[in-house]
Chains A and B, each alone.
Chain A
Amino acid sequence: MTERGPEQTADESALYVFAVCNAPDPAVFVRLPGVAVETQLRPLRFGGLTAIVQTVRAADFTDEAWQTRMSDRDELERYARAHHDVVSAAAASCPTVPLPLATLYHGEERARRALLDETERFRAALERTAGHCEWGVKVYAPESPPPDQGHLPSREEAPAARSRPAPGAGLAYLERKRGVQAQRERRHEDALRVAETVDAAFQCIAASGRRLRLHAPEPAGQGRVQVLNATYLVAEHQAAELDALTRTLRDATGARIEVSGPWVPYSFVGEV
């Protein structure tokens, strides 16, 4: 797949492919910068479909360049948003299949050939997502009081208490420990159950659903624990039901439920 020959020079160009569409309106791309400042976004016709592409400097888009970019939040964000802007603009004008960030070819001919090979998959994806949008649903465990550890001897206290502990103190300590642990497990199970409930409810009105990677607990302060990060493909005429469903689920579960969308159906154009 990677063909970085030694002959590659600094000014060699590559073709960045953003999305594949039915029949985009070229006007919607005019003001968008894409991922390079020197060149314009342009359509690339292939097999009855149109890809939105941009010529870029190959040296800026190597694997190594991306590895560096991945570790720089601001850089990554700039590219992610630039990509998303183009995809969103395309989708606003016609049915669109987004490509993942950083799909690049050594030139127009190679890109056209690769895209042509996948024409059937693009058509299938366009068909599957026609008239649908993607909606993200994130569920956070209900806020719970901190575990009751008031009676546990702290690290500082324990060694300081030189006198022999009262008989049974060790057992009581262990039982309290066990209680805290059981409470934690119960909360965890409850949270998972809430996640399943919410997922099942959204699946009912969705054409399709996917679980995404859970986000790590938020740092310091809020400490919200995410228990579901899912995304659903919902028919446009059913999108209005999402609001009521979300409210009902919030009331029923007490969980914090965040809905985002409508998204271009990023998550539903691949092999689902």
Chain B
Amino acid sequence: MQREVVPWDNPEPLTGPIGVPLVDLLDRLLATGVVISGDLVIAIADVPLVRLSLHALLSSVNERVPAPWADGGPL
């Protein structure tokens, strides 16, 4: 499988790359999946990032996970 375009270095597929940016993770964890009615938490999918400072989120993503092409990219 191709690795070159992946902005993190995961040794094997599907094992949860450590460097996966939180913002991308939340895109997938919050409002997706087979949504089935739970007993306790009812609204989490509806409040993604609303109460979370998106700027804080993004800036810390950046410092932890630098852009994959720091030199301006292979454009």
A193 at the interface (CB under 8 A from B): no
Closest to B10 in A: A262
A260 at the interface (CB under 8 A from B): yes
Q: Kindly list chain A residues whose C-beta atoms are within 8 Å of the C-beta of B24.
A: 136, 260
* Between-chain CB contacts (< 8 Å), 10 pairs: A2-B39, A73-B22, A73-B57, A92-B12, A98-B33, A100-B33, A110-B39, A242-B2, A267-B28, A269-B33
Instruction: Count CB-based A-B contacts (< 8 Å).
Output: 193
A61 at the interface (CB under 8 A from B): yes
A121 at the interface (CB under 8 A from B): yes
**Contact yes or no, A62 B31, CB < 8 A:** no
Interface residue total, chain A, C-beta cutoff 8 A: 80
A254 to B21, CA, bound (A): 24
A229 to B57, CA, bound (A): 17
**Contact yes or no, B14 A104, CB < 8 A:** no
Nearest CB of chain B from residue A55's CB, rounded to whole Å: 13
Q: For chain B residues 41-75, which have a beta carbon within 8 Å of chain A?
A: 41-45, 47-60, 62, 67-69, 73-75
Q: Which 3 A-B pairs have the closest CB atoms?
A: A88-B16, A266-B28, A243-B2
Chain B's interface size range is: 35 or more
Name A's B-contacting residues (CB within 8 A). Answer: 1-4, 14, 17, 20, 58, 61-63, 66-67, 70-71, 73, 76-77, 80-81, 83-85, 87-89, 91-92, 97-106, 110, 114-115, 117-118, 121-122, 125, 133-134, 136, 212-213, 215-216, 218-219, 222, 229, 231, 236, 239-240, 242-243, 246-247, 250, 254-256, 258-264, 266-267, 269-270
A32 to B52, CA, bound (A): 27
Name B's A-contacting residues (CB within 8 A). Answer: 1-2, 4-8, 12-16, 20-45, 47-60, 62, 67-69, 73-75
A239 to B52, CA, bound (A): 34
- Contact A99/B4 with A215-B23, A266-B28 known, Cβ cut-off 8 Å: no
A197 to B57, CA, bound (A): 29
Q: Kindly list chain A residues whose C-beta atoms are within 8 Å of the C-beta of B42.
A: 1-2, 63
- Contact A106/B39 with A121-B34, A219-B58 known, Cβ cut-off 8 Å: yes
